[in-house]
Amino acid sequence: MAIHIHSKREVEKMWASGRLAGQVLEFIEPHVKPGVTTDELDRRCHDFIIEHGAIPAPLNYKGFPRSICTSINEVVCHGIPGDRTLKDGDIINIDITTILDGHHGDTSEMFVVGETTDKARKLIDVTRRSMWLGIKEVAAGKRIGDIGAAIATFARGEHGYGVVEAFCGHGIGRVFHTAPQISHVGRRGTGMRMKAGMTFTIEPMINEGTHECHVLDDGWTAVTRDGGLSAQTEHTLLVTDHGYEVLTMRDNAFSL
């Protein structure tokens, strides 16, 4: 499948949508507190996105019923906001995808509710670092497999965590999910060569225990098979001749 190479004009639109998606994460952070429901987080993000002239991509996407994904503790990804109340010690991924002027920006971050355990904080830290080690592999001429190799070598090799294989990063642009698939357990020197103008996400899901997941009866919520904690962070990237641009970057976000 041919991978779209974004023109300068299209890249501008990807920047605008990516920047807005990052702003949603900044906006929602102070609301992630004990006692709040994930439906309230969803409503606030939904309204913010609409007020900024964009559309929340998840809403009605393949039947998804909300505007953001909220994945708590053992939830790996695609958690559906609802009446569940956040409690002290929970860890939550909030995943935002905006469509602005026809273009998608996709980014997610981990938040700690109140105070949590050292092991949960470490899992989050390793997840963020692994995503960035993957990002640093991005450059025209390098191979897609180099990204997942860097992620898995660190998260699994150095830390013994499970790296989820059932869900991948993805090409993104006018379409939410398209080729190429970005495995987070790729092998170095394998896969397609990256070209300047490609845009895709890197979004490793890192589990305390087994990498295996299953999807609940709601058809969306993916959880760890062993009930252990899972963490994820995500950015949308542009491949450039010299490396990459992080289209969803925001002030004060973690980076390596």
Write down the H helix ranges in 29-117. 38-51
The single residue among 70, 73, 130, 201 that binds Co ion, judged by CB under 5 A, is 201
Q: Which phi-psi region, left, alpha or beta, contains residue 153 (left: φ > 0; alpha: ψ -120 to 50)? A: alpha
Indicate whether 61 belongs to the interface with ligand MF3 (CB under 6 A): yes
Helix axes 118-135, 145-152, angle to 10 degrees: 150
Binding range to ligand MF3, per CB under 6 A, among 1-9, 11-19, 57-65, 136-144? 57-65
Q: Shortest gap between Cβ of 25 and Co ion (angstroms)?
A: 11
Q: Name the region of 83 (left: φ>0; alpha: ψ -120 to 50; beta: rest).
A: alpha
Tell which residue, 91, 98, 48, 42, has the closest CA to residue 71: 91
Q: Which is nearer to ligand MF3, 80 or 120 (CB)?
A: 80
Q: Is 207 a binder of Co ion (CB under 5 A)?
A: no
Instruction: Find where tokens 């450059």 sit.
Output: 139
CB of 118 to ligand MF3, least distance (A): 28
Q: Is 219 strand, coil or helix? A: coil
Q: Determine phi and psi for 34, rounding to 5 degrees.
A: -55, 140
Where in 7-46 is the site for Co ion (CB under 5 A)?
none
Sheet holding 178-182, edge to edge: 178-182, 169-171, 199-202, 235-239, 244-246
Q: Is residue 208 close enough to count as binding Co ion by CB under 5 A?
A: no
64 binds, among Co ion, ligand MF3, none (CB under 5 to 8 A by kind): ligand MF3
**Enclosing H/E stretch for 152:** helix 145-152
Q: Considering beta carbons, is residue 58 or 148 the nearer one to ligand MF3?
A: 58
Task: Determine, following the binding rule CB under 5 A, whether residue 95 of this chain makes contact with Co ion.
Answer: yes
Q: Is 10 or 106 the residue whose CB approaches Co ion more closely?
A: 106
Q: Which does 245 bind (CB under 5 to 8 A by kind): ligand MF3, Co ion, none?
A: none
| 97, 98, 130, 221: which one binds ligand MF3 (CB under 6 A) | 97
| Shorter beta-carbon distance to ligand MF3: residue 76 or 86 | 76
Question: Taking the CA atoms of the chain, what radius of gyration do you get in angstroms?
Answer: 17
Question: Quick one: DSSP state of residue 5?
Answer: P
Residue 109 binds to Co ion (criterion: CB under 5 A): no
Q: Which does 61 bind (CB under 5 to 8 A by kind): ligand MF3, Co ion, none?
A: ligand MF3
Q: Which is nearer to ligand MF3, 150 or 182 (CB)?
A: 182
Structure tokens at 53: 């002239």
**Beta-carbon count within 10 A of 204 CB:** 31
C-beta closer to ligand MF3: residue 241 or 254:
254
> How far apart are alpha carbons 33 and 29 in whole angstroms?
9
Q: Which is nearer to Co ion, 78 or 156 (CB)?
A: 78
Q: Which residues in this chain contact ligand MF3 in the complex, by CB under 6 A?
A: 58, 61-62, 64, 69, 78, 95, 97, 106, 201, 203, 220, 234
